[in-house]
Chain A
Amino acid sequence: MTSIQDAKAPAGEVVLEAIGLTKHFPVRRRLRDLFRRQHSAVHAVDDVHLTLRRGQVVALVGESGSGKSTVARLLAQLYPRTGGDIQLHGESTRVKGGSSFRAYAARVQMIFQDPFASLNPVHTIRYHLTRALKIHHNAGDDLDAALAELLTRVSLTPPERYLDKFPHELSGGQRQRVAIARALGAQPEALLADEPVSMLDVSIRLGVLNLLRDLKERLDLAILYITHDIASARYFADQTMVMYAGRMVEGGDSETVTQTPAHPYTRLLIDSAPDPDRLTGDVDPLEEDRGNGEPPSLINPPSGCRFHPRCPAAMARCSTDLPVPLEIGDAPGHWAACWLYDKAGAR
């Protein structure tokens, strides 16, 4: 286990960066579209900028269908991108399977949402972890010691009790810990966690989140944490980015984004989160002018700002001009893509 130490660099160094990342999924053409010029596509991710730094957690928050998982898969190079660039330590990377993909995977690993599906049911924990270590040549001389260390890292102790178990013998939380250990087996620099706790029981979610935070501090990992639960982003992440319909709408440090949200969509998201302090009796159903709560179709996304059909503060230019990220000014690095904050353009 030396390469991590070797690769260690000052904290805050950029590990992985997405620049203008775009992904369109083609829609299958029907017969009647055969003679049409344009090809329709699902605009899953458009122009996403994201920076993962060593020793930092960035949360990506959004509702289902907002494209947040697509961002993770693009960063893991599981999908080829349509446009933009992914830079690992400042170098543009594009891999197409084979050895270049393995080399990339040794540095960027992914943890999936469902630990019930991401482990092979016919293999033991030993097999899963051994493969991760051998493929990335991290097994060293003493495989057993390396395996034990991996399991100890994710607090599955004593390791002997877990090594020869099958996934079905473990609980959901333990399985997710094995999935994390498998990702660590590659000794990555960046970890992409796609809703790592949403399938777990509520009482053990925090255990897994605290483990990830602990690992981040000890191994100096850069973590992308994808979630739909903005409260856990506040708890766990240093920075929070909010995504809506394939575009980033707001970003900044987690405390600022959750306490003084700037973009109307972020406000809607925060107002909708369950709040125990707001007891029954004063339930206020959201005003009707916020639309029917449907995210837009991504095949023909709304022009201008994609949130404008649901936005309570929509102005005329919102439906025509695409908002650019604008500095809010209440905290360094807090921005929102919303024309409300365009001071120069204000009449």
Chain B
Amino acid sequence: MAEPVLEIRNLNVDYGLGDRAVHAVRDVNLTLHRGEVLGLAGESGSGKSTLAYGMTRLLAPPGVITGGEVVYHPQQGPAYDVLGLTDRQLRAWRWAETAIVFQGAMNSLNPVHKISTQLTDVLKAHDPKMSEHSRSARAREMLKLVGISADRMDAYPHQLSGGMRQRVMIGMALILQPQVVIMDEPTTALDVVMQRQILGQLIELRERLGFSVIFITHDLSLLVEFSNRIAIMYGGRIVEEAPAATIYRDALHPYSKGLLSSFPALRGPKRELAGIPGSPPDLAGMPAGCSFHPRCPKAFEPCNSAIPVLGRPDTPDGAGRSVACWLHPAEQPVG
């Protein structure tokens, strides 16, 4: 397997302090390898966005990182912990090494500035010595890369359609050639035709430029198609992680199975679907033991008292995947 580019170790994120703190992300271990697309799936409130903000240190108060480390491996030089960077180092690291495309990307552009200004601003901040001319040349090049003609450089965001704005956001994220791009529900606001175009383009760009992607969404069927590996989150923990095809064909965790059978199929035989009974847990009053056990059809005796650890399952194809479920007790815990 390729070398890692970003390793998250035992990351914990709380909202609030002391006794009233809500544990939004708990003991997450995750490794992103160079050049791969890692999908992060889960329902709203499962902590997937908090994880993304936590690892880039973008959490707004009352969010607090209470433990763990995020190790970044630059292309040259030794690895370092992002959580230990000073503010100045962090500013340099963000965008140049890790860029993020936000959920409401359609509204993340400043409405009173031209696209060109917003694109060149990034270059100005990170490379003040760059000349005006080469800055605008680079911005032009970036727009062409994401499929927007250069004559739209001087357009204001409201003059572009939603899909074009989303492309501008992706272009902006890539303009400093980061190693890691985090996409937080990048296409939820777009319709399916546009979604496919933008994702197809992203995959193409990734092959050409060689960055890695963390792709956060609740749409598992989209992830199965577009990512290499998938991690599924529930109640702030990762409950299963495996290659995309493995998850799709043979998910081990009952929650992953439930999620997969929540999507009506467009092709193939029509089957009766049930979804998952109950509703997602409240982070303030998390059930004891496995947080999925109140909704789990297969819950048995240890589930309501002990938390299962994420580890390599005891199945024959257990290599390269991990699951946190008492049905498949871990042979080798991760982390």
A residues near B, CB below 8 A? 63-64, 171-174, 201-207, 210, 228-232, 234-236, 255, 258-259, 268-280, 283-286, 292-294
Question: Could you list 10 further interchain pairs (A-B, Cβ under 8 angstroms) beyond the known A232-B264, A276-B248, A280-B226?
Answer: A63-B191, A202-B218, A210-B274, A235-B264, A235-B273, A258-B266, A274-B222, A275-B221, A285-B204, A286-B196
Query: What are 18 A-B contacts defined by CB distance under 8 Å?
Result: A63-B191, A201-B280, A202-B259, A203-B262, A203-B275, A206-B264, A207-B277, A234-B264, A268-B193, A272-B192, A272-B196, A273-B266, A275-B221, A276-B221, A276-B224, A280-B228, A286-B196, A293-B197
B280 near A283: Cβ-Cβ < 8 Å: no
CB neighbours (8 Å) of B274 from chain A are 206-207, 210
Contact among A171, A203, A285 with B197 in the assembled complex (CB-CB below 8 Å): A285
CB neighbours (8 Å) of B196 from chain A are 271-272, 274, 286
A-facing residues in B222-247 (Cβ within 8 Å)? 222, 224-228, 244-245
B218 near A201: Cβ-Cβ < 8 Å: yes
The 5 A-B residue pairs with the shortest CB-CB distance in the complex, in nearest-first order: A206-B275, A235-B264, A285-B200, A63-B191, A276-B224
CA distance A230 to B192 in the complex (A): 10
Our count of residue pairs bridging A and B at CB distance below 8 angstroms stands at 128
Contact among A207, A231, A269, A286 with B200 in the assembled complex (CB-CB below 8 Å): A286
B163 near A235: Cβ-Cβ < 8 Å: no
The closest CB in chain A to the CB of B245 belongs to A279
CB distance from B208 to the nearest CB of A (A): 13
Q: Tell whether B37 is near chain A: CB-to-CB under 8 Å.
A: yes
Q: Tell whether B75 is near chain A: CB-to-CB under 8 Å.
A: no
Contact among A205, A269, A283, A285 with B192 in the assembled complex (CB-CB below 8 Å): A269
B residues near A, CB below 8 A? 37, 43-44, 147, 161, 163, 191-197, 199-201, 203-204, 218-222, 224-228, 244-245, 248, 258-259, 262-268, 270, 273-277, 279-280
Contact among A173, A204, A276, A285 with B201 in the assembled complex (CB-CB below 8 Å): A285
A279 near B267: Cβ-Cβ < 8 Å: no
CB distance from B93 to the nearest CB of A (A): 29
B197 near A231: Cβ-Cβ < 8 Å: no
CB neighbours (8 Å) of A268 from chain B are 193
CB neighbours (8 Å) of A272 from chain B are 192-193, 195-196
Residue from the set A174, A203, A206, A268 with the largest chain B CB neighbour count within 10 Å: A203
CB distance from A115 to the nearest CB of B (A): 13
A228 near B218: Cβ-Cβ < 8 Å: no
CB distance from B230 to the nearest CB of A (A): 11
CB neighbours (8 Å) of B262 from chain A are 202-203, 205-206
A63-B193, A234-B264, A274-B221 known; A294-B203 Cβ under 8 A: no
CA distance A286 to B245 in the complex (A): 23
CB neighbours (8 Å) of B192 from chain A are 63, 228-230, 269, 272-274
CA distance A300 to B180 in the complex (A): 43
CA distance A269 to B245 in the complex (A): 24
A171-B279, A203-B259 known; A293-B224 Cβ under 8 A: no
B266 near A230: Cβ-Cβ < 8 Å: yes
CA distance A171 to B43 in the complex (A): 13
The closest CB in chain B to the CB of A206 belongs to B275
CB distance from B102 to the nearest CB of A (A): 19
CB neighbours (8 Å) of B225 from chain A are 274-276, 278-280, 283
CB neighbours (8 Å) of B267 from chain A are 259, 275, 277
A270 near B266: Cβ-Cβ < 8 Å: yes
A63-B193, A272-B192, A274-B219 known; A280-B37 Cβ under 8 A: yes
Contact among B227, B244, B266, B276 with A203 in the assembled complex (CB-CB below 8 Å): B276
The closest CB in chain A to the CB of B203 belongs to A283
CB neighbours (8 Å) of B264 from chain A are 206, 231-232, 234-236
CB neighbours (8 Å) of A235 from chain B are 264, 270, 273
CB neighbours (8 Å) of B279 from chain A are 171-174, 201, 204
B266 near A279: Cβ-Cβ < 8 Å: no
Residue from the set B163, B221, B268 with the largest chain A CB neighbour count within 10 Å: B221
Contact among A234, A259, A271, A294 with B163 in the assembled complex (CB-CB below 8 Å): A294
CA distance A234 to B197 in the complex (A): 23
CA distance A210 to B262 in the complex (A): 11
A203 near B258: Cβ-Cβ < 8 Å: yes
CB neighbours (8 Å) of B265 from chain A are 231
CB neighbours (8 Å) of B44 from chain A are 201
A171-B279, A203-B258, A234-B264 known; A64-B245 Cβ under 8 A: no
CA distance A229 to B265 in the complex (A): 11
CA distance A256 to B5 in the complex (A): 47
CA distance A276 to B263 in the complex (A): 10
CB neighbours (8 Å) of A206 from chain B are 262, 264, 273-275
A293 near B280: Cβ-Cβ < 8 Å: no
CB neighbours (8 Å) of A259 from chain B are 267
The closest CB in chain A to the CB of B189 belongs to A64
The closest CB in chain B to the CB of A236 belongs to B264
B163 near A293: Cβ-Cβ < 8 Å: yes
CA distance A173 to B196 in the complex (A): 28
The closest CB in chain B to the CB of A233 belongs to B264
CA distance A274 to B221 in the complex (A): 6
Contact among B191, B226, B276 with A204 in the assembled complex (CB-CB below 8 Å): B276
CA distance A284 to B222 in the complex (A): 14
A294 near B220: Cβ-Cβ < 8 Å: no
CB neighbours (8 Å) of B258 from chain A are 203
CA distance A231 to B268 in the complex (A): 11
CB neighbours (8 Å) of B193 from chain A are 63, 268-269, 272, 286, 293
Residue from the set A63, A228, A259, A272 with the largest chain B CB neighbour count within 10 Å: A272
